[in-house]
Structures are given as structure tokens and as C-alpha cells.
Structure 1
Amino acid sequence: MAFGIRRSELIRWKEAVERGEIAYLTHFWLDPRFPGMRSVTKVGCSDLGRLARWCRDNGLNPAYIHRRDRYPHFDLLGPKQAEILKREGLHDQLDRFVERKRL
């Protein structure tokens, strides 16, 4: 279950994904398969080759790309999520959804 984002954020992410850009969308998330994880960052891109390269460049396995979805994406969780958000300068997403959960 996803929550904590505005509709406008989701629309901007979808539009960027459709344009073939690498787009980041972080939100609160609960899934019993991942206890202790409270947020996820969806890294999306409709250009699957570009998204696969992004995965490899970040030490991630492109086999885990969600390809059947209308908006192909890779789910970032845990320490790698924080590492990449920091490196990409996405401090708003980091502060709102990742760092706050530790308080």
C-alpha cells in the first residue's frame, strides 16, 4: 500500500517515465514481505535499456525491474535507497520518507 504523496507528484513521475527519463518517486509503503521497510523509491523509465543500464551502474540487478507494469520501474529499499537519493540530490524525498522513519 502506497501513501504520503500528492497526486501532482505521481502525475509528474508518470509523465517523466513516459518520456523515457529516469524518474524517482518515493512514498510510504507497507508490505508484509519486507518487515521494517516503511518507504520505497520507484525508479521508473519507459526505455527498458536505459533503466537496465541505470540498475547495473548502481550495482543493482535489472532482473528485478517491474516490466509488466505500464510504468516500468525498479523498487529501491533500505540503505541503497538512501544512498541513491543522497547521490541524486533528492533531499526532499529523503527527508520526507526515508530519514524521518528513524525518529
Structure 2
Amino acid sequence: MAFGLKKKELAEWKRQIDDGEIAFLTHYWLDDRFPDCKTVTKVGCSDLEKLKSWGKKYGLKEEWIHYREDGYSHFDLLGDTQMKILKAEGITQPLQ
């Protein structure tokens, strides 16, 4: 279950994706399958080759992309991987 997400933040994430940028969106999230994770970061891009290449540099596999028909395909980052990648990308406060 996602929560704590503002419409403006979602709209900005979608705009960046539409513009072909690598876009980050972190929000609070609860899922019984991942009891130690309280947030998720969605990393998307409309240019799927660019998204695959970006993910590859962090060891993310292409098959981990959540392909969406609406054009907002993305990786979901969780736990330690999420924190390592956000730090490497210079994102120190993903939740404002």
C-alpha cells in the first residue's frame, strides 16, 4: 500500500519520464512481503534503453523493470539497494 504521496510529486515524476529523463519518486509503502521496507523508490524513464542502461550500472536486471502500458515503466528500489543507489545519485533526502 502506497501512502504519503502528493499529486504534485507524482505529476513531476511523470513529466520527467515524459521528457526522457531518469526520474526518481520515493514514497512510503507497506507490503507484507517486505516487512523490513517502509519506503520504495520508483525509477522510470520513457526511453527504455536509457532506463535499462541506467539500471545495468547498478546491477539491476532488465527483467526487474515493471513494464507499464501507460508509459511509466520503472524499477522499484527497496532496502539496502534503494539507499545505496539514492546515495550514489546524490539524493540524500528522498522524502521531503
TM-score (structure 1 length as normaliser): 0.85
Shift of residue 9 of structure 1?
Answer: 0.9
Q: Which is richer in helix?
A: 1
Q: Structure 1 stretches of 5 or more lacking a match? A: 98-103
Separation in structure 2 between the aligned mates of residue 24 and residue 11 of structure 1, nearest angstrom? 12
Q: Secondary structure at the match of 2:93?
A: helix
**Count of paired positions:** 95
Output the aligned Cα RMSD: 1.4
Contact 2:24/2:44 (<8 A) preserved: yes
The 4+ residue runs of structure 1 with deviation greater than 2 A are: none
Structure 2: which 5+ runs fail to align? Answer: none
For 1:1-103, what aligned pairs fall within 5 Å after superposition? 1-70=1-70, 71-93=72-94, 96=95
Give, in whole Å, the separation in 2 of the partners of 1:66 and 1:6: 21
Aligned partners of 2:69 and 2:31: how far apart in 1? 18
Identity, % of aligned pairs? 53
SS at match of 1:82: helix
Q: 2:21, 2:45 within 8 Å by CA — same for their partners in 1?
A: yes
